[in-house]
Structure 1
Amino acid sequence: MAGQSMTSRTGTGNQRYGSKGERLVAGVVPLSSDKTKVLLIQSSSRTSWVLPKGGWELDEDTASAAAQREAWEEGGIICKIDKDLGMIPDIRPTNAVTKNAPKASYQFFEATVTEEKVNWPEKHKRSRAWYTFSQAAQLLAQRPELLEALKRSSMKR
Structure 2
Amino acid sequence: MELPDPKYLVSHVGHDMQRFDKKRWSRLLSSAVVMRTNEQGQHQIVFLSSSNPKKGDFLLPKGGWDKGEDIKKAALGEVIEEVGVNAQLAHGLGKVKFEDAGKKYTYFAYLMKANKIYDDWAESIRYRLWVLLDEAEVMLARRGQKVKVVKRAMAVNPFVDTHLGDCAKRFDERGRVHRPAWAALAGWCARFRAIIEALRMRTRVLSHSDARTHVEIGARDSAP
Q: TM-score, normalised by structure 1?
A: 0.85
2:11 corresponds, among 3, 8, 11, to 8
Partner of 1:52: 61
Q: RMSD across aligned C-alpha pairs, in angstroms?
A: 1.9
Give the deviation of 1:154 after TM superposition.
3.0
Give the deviation of 1:142 after TM superposition.
1.1
What amino acid is the match of 1:67? A
Answering whether residue 49 of structure 2 is matched by residue 42 of structure 1, we say yes
**What SS does structure 2 have at the residue aligned with 1:59?**
coil
Partner of 1:131: 131
Aligned in 2, Cα 1:150/1:35: closer, same or farther, shift over 3 Å?
Answer: farther
Q: Which ranges of 4 or more aligned residues in structure 1 deviate by more than 4 Å?
A: none
Partner of 1:76: 84
Q: TM-score, normalised by structure 2?
A: 0.61
Aligned in 2, Cα 1:14/1:116: closer, same or farther, shift over 3 Å?
Answer: same
Give the deviation of 1:58 after TM superposition.
1.1
What amino acid is the match of 1:80? Q
Larger relative contact order (Cα-Cα within 8 Å, sequence gap ≥ 6): 1
Give the deviation of 1:3 after TM superposition.
3.4
Partner of 1:143: 143
Partner of 1:85: 93
> Please, which runs of 5 or more residues in structure 1 have no aligned partner?
none
Q: 1:24-80: per-residue Cα shift (whole Å, max 9, x none)? A: 01011000146711111111113201000011011312x211111111111011100
**What SS does structure 2 have at the residue aligned with 1:153?**
helix
Q: 1:65-118: per-residue Cα shift (whole Å, max 9, x none)? A: 1111111111011100101100111154xxx22xxxx31101110000111100
Partner of 2:25: 21
More helix by share: 2
Identity of aligned residues (%): 27
Give the deviation of 1:11 after TM superposition.
4.1
Partner of 2:200: none
Q: Over alpha carbons, which structure has the higher Rg?
A: 2
> Please, which runs of 5 or more residues in structure 2 have no aligned partner?
158-224
